[in-house]
Amino acid sequence: MASTFFTQTSLPSKSFNNSLNTHFIPSFKLPVSLSFTPRASVLKRLSVRAGLIEPDGGRLVDLRVAEWERELKKKEAASLPKVKLSKIDVQWVHVLSEGWASPLTGFMRESEFLQTLHFNCLRLDDGSFVNMSVPIVLAIDDSQKERIGESNSVALFDPDDNLIAILTDIDIYKHPKEERIARTWGTTAPGLPYVDQTITNAGNWLIGGDLKVIEPIKYHDGLDRFRLSPAELREEFERRNADAVFAFQLRNPVHNGHALLMTDTRRRLLEMGYKNPILLLHPLGGYTKADDVPLSWRMKQHEKVLEDGVLDPETTVVSIFPSPMHYAGPTEVQWHAKARINAGANFYIVGRDPAGMGHPVEKRDLYDADHGKKVLSMAPGLERLNILPFKVAAYDKTQGKMAFFDPSRAQDFLFISGTKMRTLAKNKENPPDGFMCPGGWKVLVDYYDSLTPSDSGRIAEAVPA
Its pTM stands at 0.88
The mean per-residue pLDDT over the stretch 289-314 comes to 95
In tens, the pLDDT along 193-216 reads 999 999 999 999 999 999 999 999
pLDDT at 42 exceeding the cut of 60: no
pLDDT at 427 exceeding the cut of 90: yes
pLDDT at 9 exceeding the cut of 80: no
pLDDT at 381 exceeding the cut of 60: yes
* φ, ψ dihedrals at 208, nearest 5°: -120, 165
pLDDT at 386: 85
pLDDT at 8 exceeding the cut of 60: no
The mean per-residue pLDDT over the stretch 101-108 comes to 98
222-to-106, 297, 299 alpha-carbon distances in Å: 27, 12, 11
pLDDT at 308 exceeding the cut of 50: yes
Q: Which residue has the higher pLDDT, 347 or 310?
A: 310
Q: How much of the chain exceeds pLDDT 90, in percent?
A: 79
- N-to-C CA span, the chain: 17
The mean per-residue pLDDT over the stretch 90-96 comes to 98
H or E segment to which residue 349 belongs: strand 347-350
Where does the pLDDT of residue 33 fall: very low under 50, low under 70, confident under 90, or very high at 90 and above?
A: very low
Residues sharing a CB contact under 8 Å with residue 436, sequence separation 6 or more, in sequence order: 253, 254, 255, 256, 444
Query: Using CA atoms, how far apart are residues 104 and 88, in angstroms rounded to an integer?
Result: 18
Q: Within 240-294, where are the H helices?
A: 256-272
List, by residue range, all CATH 3.40.50.620 domains of the chain.
224-451
pLDDT at 31: 29
- Closest Cα to residue 372, out of 327, 412, 332, 330? 330
Angle (nearest 5°) at CA 198 between 197 and 204: 140
Query: Using CA atoms, how far apart are residues 129 and 120, in angstroms rounded to an integer?
Result: 10
The mean per-residue pLDDT over the stretch 160-186 comes to 98
Assigned superfamily of 67-213: Sulfate adenylyltransferase (3.10.400.10)
Q: 212: which strand partners?
A: 166
Residue 230 region by backbone torsions, left for phi larger than 0, else alpha for psi between -120 and 50, else beta: alpha
Of the listed ranges 9-13, 184-188, 373-377, the one predicted with least confidence: 9-13
pLDDT at 351: 86
pLDDT at 317 exceeding the cut of 90: yes
Q: Which amino acid is at 360?
A: P
Where does the pLDDT of residue 464 fall: very low under 50, low under 70, confident under 90, or very high at 90 and above?
A: low
Q: Across all residues in the chain, what is the average pLDDT?
A: 88
Q: Which residue has the higher pLDDT, 190 or 422?
A: 190
Fold of 224-451: Rossmann fold (3.40.50)
Contact of 126 with 103, CB cutoff 8 Å: no
pLDDT at 465: 63
142-to-149, 155, 197, 230, 259 alpha-carbon distances in Å: 11, 17, 19, 36, 50
Q: Is the peptide bond before 103 cis (omega within 30 degrees of 0)?
A: yes
- Closest Cα to residue 207, out of 282, 268, 269, 135? 135
pLDDT at 21 exceeding the cut of 80: no
Query: Using CA atoms, how far apart are residues 356 and 463, in angstroms rounded to an integer?
Result: 19
pLDDT at 463: 54
The mean per-residue pLDDT over the stretch 420-427 comes to 92
Q: For residue 158, how many C-alpha atoms fall within 13 Å in the half-sphere facing its CB?
A: 18
Query: Using CA atoms, how far apart are residues 194 and 39, in angstroms rounded to an integer?
Result: 30
Judge residue 76's burial from the number of C-beta atoms within 10 Å of its C-beta, 0-12 exposed, 13-18 middle, 19 or more buried: middle
pLDDT at 419: 81
* Pairing mode of beta strands 401-404, 413-414: unpaired
